[in-house]
Structure 1
Amino acid sequence: MSEVATRSTRAGGVLAATCISTLVVNANTSAVSILLPAISEDTGMSVTTLQWAVTGYSLVGAAVIVTSGSLGDVFGRRRIFQLGLALFVGSCVLIALAGSGGMVIAGRVIQGAAGATILACGLSLLSVATDGPAQLRAVSLWGAAAAVGAAAGPLLGGVLVDVTGWQGLFWIDAGVALGCMALTAATVRESRDEERSRSIDYLGTVLIALTLTPVILGVTRSGDWGWLSAATLTCFAISVGAGYAFIVVEGRVAVPLLDLALLRNVVLVASTIAILIGAGTINGLMYLLSLYFQDPDALDLTPLEAGLATLPATVGLVAVAPLVPKLAAKVGSRQTVGVGFALSAAGFAVVGLIDASWHYRAFLLPLIAIAVGMGLSNGPASAAATASVPERQVGEASGVSNMARYVGAAVATALAATIYGTVIGNQTADGAARSDALASGLGAASWMMAVFSVLGVLMALLLRRQRVGRTTLGDAAAAAAAHTHTLPTSRAEQAGTAP
C-alpha cells in the first residue's frame, strides 16, 4: 500500500473511532435521565438521590475535561484516549451489573471522567491526523456526531428500557466502546505535544472537584438539613475555601487549568457564563421532564413515550443550530444570543404556569420555544468564547467554556432536583394531591430556569454588536455541537466577536 493510501486509511480510522465514540458518549449522557425512574424502581433508591447519577457525572467531567487534554499532550493522545475508552467500558459494566443505586452513581462518576477524556483527546487526535480542508470536514463530522448523539439519546434510552431493560443501554455502549478501542489500536498513531511543558495541574483538578461537590451536596440536602444548618453552611464554607485555594494555585503553577488573566476578558467571561446557563437549563429541563412525564400521578408515560415526548427539546435544538451562524452573520451575535435567551425564558415561564390538568400538547409549544431559543444562543456564545482571544489562546478558551458547560449541568440539575423535590414534599405534607404537588414542583423549578435565562440576556449585552463575516461548514457543525462541546469557528466569525 502506498504512503498516501496508508495515511488516508489511518485518517479514516481516526475519524471513525473519534466520531463513533463521541456519538456514544453524548447519547449515553442524554439518555440517563430517561432511565432514572426505571433504575429507581429496580434499586429502591429515590429518583431524588439518583440525581447524583447526573450531577456526579457532570461534576467529575468539569474537573477532568482540561486535565485529560493535558495528559494526552504529555503522555500521548492515543494512550489517554484508549484509557478513557477503557474507563467507559468498565463504568458501563459496573452500572449494568449494579444491584444498588449507589453502584449506579459510582459508575456514573467514573463515566464522567471517561466521557470528558474521550471528548478532549478524541478531538485532539482528529486535529493532528488531518489538516486543511480535510481537517475542516473531519471536525465538522465530529461535531455532527456529538449533536446527533445528544439528540437521539433520550429516544434510544426509552426504546431500550422497553426492549432490554435499562441495563441494555450500558451493555450496548460497552460493546461499541470496545470496538472503538480495537479500531484505535489498529489505525491511530500515537502523538503528543513535544514542545509543551510536562507540568500538569493535578492539584487544580482536585480543587475544582472539592469546590463543586460540597456546594452541590449542600444544595441537594438543604431541604432536610435547612439552609442555615451547620451542615449546609459547612459545605458552603468548604466550597469557598477550595475555590480560593484554586485561585491561589492557578496563579503559581507553570501550566494552570485556568489562566486567571483570561478572566479580565469581558467577552470571554460573558460568553462562558452564557454557555454555563445554556448547558445548565437544558440539562435541568431534561431531568425534570423525564421524571414528570413518567410519573403515574402526572402524565404516566412509558419510557419510550417519554423519550418521544422530549424530542421537540432535543431534536429542535440541534435542527435549528446549523442555521444560526448565517443569522448571526446578518443581525450580529449579540442580538442572536439575546433573542435566544429571551425566547427560552418565555418558554420556561409558560411551563412555570403548569397545572395538574395539563396534557402533553400543552408542553409542546413552550418546549419548541425553549429549544429554538437555546439553538439561537448556544452557537454564537461558543463562537464568542473562542473568538474573543488571540489565536494562540483559542484552546484555552475552548477548555474554559467546556468546563463551564459541565459546571452548569451539575449545578443547575442539582438546583432543579432540590426545588422540585422540596416543593413536592412540602405540598404533600400540607395535604395537597400528589398530582398538584408534582405540577407545583415542576413549575417552581421552571421559574428558576426562566430567571437564569434572563441572566443570559444580560450576558448577551456584553458581546459586541457588529455583524460577523462569511460562515463555513465548520461554523454550522460547531453551532450544532455547541450544547455539548465548544469547537473553534472560522477566523471571520472570530474577528466579528473579538473585543
Structure 2
Amino acid sequence: MSRTAPSTSRAGGVLAATCISTLVVNANTSAVSILLPAISEDTGTSVTTLQWAVTGYSLVGAAVIVTSGSLGDVFGRKRVFQLGLLLFVVSCVLIALAESGGMVIAGRVIQGAAGATILACGLSLLSVANEDEAQLRAVSLWGAAAAVGAAAGPLLGGVLVDITGWQGLFWIDAAVAVLCMLLTFVTVAESRDPDRPRSIDYAGTVLIAATLTPLILAVTESSDWGWLSPATLGCFAISIAAGWAFIVVEKRVAVPLLDLALLRNRVLVGSTIAILIGAGTINGLMYLLSLYFQDPSTLDFSPLQAGLATLPATVGLVVVAPLVPKLAAKFGGRQTIGVGFVLTTVGFVIVGFVQSDWRYVAFLLPLVAIAVGMGLSNGPASSAATASVPQSQVGGASGVSNMARYVGAAVATALAATVYGTVIGNRTDDGAGQAEALADGLAAASWLMAVLSFLGVLMALVIAKHRAARGTVDDAVASAAAITHTLPTTASGAAEATR
C-alpha cells in the first residue's frame, strides 16, 4: 500500500467507518453459506446452483481486490471507498428483493466487487489518517473487527433467518452501509498517492475473471457435461488461454496487477499457496457443513442451530490465532505452518469417515482440530508473505496473498460442491437412502479437503527459513485477521535487512 502524509481526517471517524464496514462485510460473507438452504427453499433454486452465490462473490473479489486499491490511489481513496459502500447497498437491496436464485447470485457477484473495494480502500484510508503508533493501533482494531465479523457471521445469519427470514441480513447490512457512507462523508478527507502512475491494469482485472470463471464453470458442470466433453474441455481451454494472456499483459503494463518478479520469491510463493489452501478449505468446509447440518435427512438443524454448530470452526480459529505469533517466533514460522496443516488434514480425514447415523458430538473433535490447525497456519503464512520481501514490496506481497484468499475460496468451494453433489447423485441412483448418500457425499468432499490440506504441509517444507513476527499484540491481531486479510507484522519487509 502506498503511503502519503496523514490526511486531515478526524481519525476517530475514519476508524469507526472503516472498522464497522469491514466487520459488516466479513460477517455478511461468512453468513451466506448458512442462508443457502433457506434461500433455496424460498426461490426454488437448488443449493448446487446457489453455490455460485459463494463462488461468484469470491471470483469477482479476486479480480477486484488489487485494482480497487489502485483506483483509490489514483482517483481518491474516499471516493472509491464510498463507491464500494454504494455498490454494497445496491447488492444487499437486490438480494433482499430477489425472487429467484439468479437474482441472488447476481447480487452476490456485485457484492464481491463491493466487499473487495471496501476492504482495500478502507485499510488505505485508515493508514493515511494515522501515523506511527496510532497507525499500528488503528490497523490492529481494523484487523480485530475483520476477525470478529468472520467468526460471528454464521451465528448472526442463523439468528436472523429465524427472526426476520434470510432477507433480514441484507436489509440490516444495507442500513449499516448507508450509515458508514454518511460517517465517511462527514469525517473522512480525500487522499491520493500523487507519486503513483495513473495507469490502471484493467486488462489484468478482466483476465483474472476470464481465467477463473470458465475454470469454475467446468468444475461445477463436469458431472453433467462429463470431464472429457467438448464443453468442459472448451472451458479449460479458455481458462488456460486467459491465464496465458494475463501473464503476457502483466509483463507489458506500466503498473501490473501482479508483479511477476515476486513469483521468483520461494517464500512468498509457498506462503501464498498455503494461504490459498487455508482459505479454500475453510470456505469449502463451511459450505458443506451448512448444507449437511440443515438437511432433514441428517441432523435437521435450524439455521440458528447450524450457526451455533459451526462456532468451533469459526470462533475457535480466531481465538487460537492470536496465540500463534509467539509460537512461530519460538519454533519457526514454517514449522508452525506445517503442524497447522497436519492438524487440519487429520480433522478432514476424521470427517471423511462420517456415517449417516453420526450425531453432532461426533463432529466436535475434527472441527476443533481443523480450527486449531488453521489458526496455526494462517497467521504465520501471512506473516511470511510480507516478511519475504523488502519494505517497498510489502504492499505487492499483501495484494498477492489477499487475491489468493479469494481464488482459494472460489475454486475449493466449487470443487467441494461438485464432489458433494456428484457423489450424492451417484449413490441415490444406486438405491442408497438420502441420509446415507449425503454422508457419502460429505465424506468424499472431506477427503478432497484432506488432500488439499496435506499439500499445505508440503508448502511448509518449500518455505525457506525467514524472520518470524516477534509476537506483539499487533502481531496477534494480524494473525487473527489472517482468515480474511493480510496485515503488516513486525517481520514485514525483513528481506531488506538481508540484502
Alignment partner, residue 240 of structure 1: 240
Hey, what's the Cα distance between the residues in 1 that align with 2:247 and 2:206?
13
2:191 pairs with 1:191: yes
Alignment partner, residue 112 of structure 1: 112
Alignment partner, residue 208 of structure 1: 208
Alignment partner, residue 425 of structure 1: 425
The answer to whether the Cα contact below 8 Å between 2:8 and 2:129 also exists between their aligned partners in 1 is: no
Taking the TM superposition and a 5 Å limit, the aligned residue runs for 1:93-492 are 93-465=93-465, 468=468, 470-491=470-491
Q: Deviations over 1:437-480 (max 9, x none)?
A: 00000000000000001000010112234663632222111100
Letter in 2 for 1:388: S
Hey, what's the Cα distance between the residues in 1 that align with 2:469 and 2:218?
46
Taking the TM superposition and a 5 Å limit, the aligned residue runs for 1:17-56 are 17-56=17-56
Hey, what's the Cα distance between the residues in 2 that align with 1:150 and 1:219?
27
Hey, what's the Cα distance between the residues in 2 that align with 1:407 and 1:417?
15
Hey, what's the Cα distance between the residues in 2 that align with 1:129 and 1:81?
14
Q: Deviations over 1:5-47 (max 9, x none)?
A: x989710000000000000000000000000000000000000
Gaps (5+ residues) in structure 1? 1-5
Provide the aligned length of Structure 1 versus Structure 2.
Answer: 494
The answer to whether the Cα contact below 8 Å between 1:464 and 1:497 also exists between their aligned partners in 2 is: no
The answer to whether the Cα contact below 8 Å between 2:391 and 2:492 also exists between their aligned partners in 1 is: no
The answer to whether the Cα contact below 8 Å between 1:335 and 1:465 also exists between their aligned partners in 2 is: no
Q: Deviations over 1:72-113 (max 9, x none)?
A: 000000000000000000000000000100000000000000
The answer to whether the Cα contact below 8 Å between 2:22 and 2:142 also exists between their aligned partners in 1 is: yes
Hey, what's the Cα distance between the residues in 1 that align with 2:160 and 2:338?
38
Q: Deviations over 1:376-418 (max 9, x none)?
A: 0000000000111110000000000000100000000000000
- Let me know the Cα RMSD of the aligned residues: 1.5
CA, structure 1 residues 436+494, in 2 after alignment: closer, same or farther (shift >3 Å)? farther
Hey, what's the Cα distance between the residues in 2 that align with 1:143 and 1:467?
22
Hey, what's the Cα distance between the residues in 2 that align with 1:144 and 1:181?
21
Hey, what's the Cα distance between the residues in 2 that align with 1:464 and 1:493?
16
Q: Deviations over 1:317-347 (max 9, x none)?
A: 0000000000101100011000000000000
Hey, what's the Cα distance between the residues in 1 that align with 2:296 and 2:246?
45
The answer to whether the Cα contact below 8 Å between 1:468 and 1:496 also exists between their aligned partners in 2 is: no
The answer to whether the Cα contact below 8 Å between 2:347 and 2:369 also exists between their aligned partners in 1 is: yes
Task: Give the TM-score normalised by the residue count of structure 1.
Answer: 0.97
Task: Give the TM-score normalised by the residue count of structure 2.
Answer: 0.97
The answer to whether the Cα contact below 8 Å between 1:384 and 1:498 also exists between their aligned partners in 2 is: no
Q: Secondary structure at the match of 2:462?
A: coil
The answer to whether the Cα contact below 8 Å between 1:466 and 1:496 also exists between their aligned partners in 2 is: no
Letter in 2 for 1:353: F
Identity %: 80
Q: Deviations over 1:109-149 (max 9, x none)?
A: 00000000000000000000000110010000000000000
Gaps (5+ residues) in structure 2? 1-5
The answer to whether the Cα contact below 8 Å between 2:8 and 2:189 also exists between their aligned partners in 1 is: no
Alignment partner, residue 3 of structure 2: none
2:79 pairs with 1:79: yes
The answer to whether the Cα contact below 8 Å between 1:333 and 1:463 also exists between their aligned partners in 2 is: no
Hey, what's the Cα distance between the residues in 2 that align with 1:73 and 1:495?
25
Query: Where does structure 1 differ by over 6 angstroms across 4 or more consecutive aligned residues?
Result: 6-9, 496-499
2:4 pairs with 1:14: no
CA, structure 1 residues 252+469, in 2 after alignment: closer, same or farther (shift >3 Å)? closer
Hey, what's the Cα distance between the residues in 2 that align with 1:74 and 1:466?
34
Q: Deviations over 1:177-222 (max 9, x none)?
A: 0000000000000000000000000000000000000000000000
Letter in 2 for 1:118: I
Letter in 2 for 1:459: M
Hey, what's the Cα distance between the residues in 2 that align with 1:390 and 1:462?
20
Q: Secondary structure at the match of 1:251?
A: helix
Alignment partner, residue 3 of structure 1: none
Q: Secondary structure at the match of 1:484?
A: coil
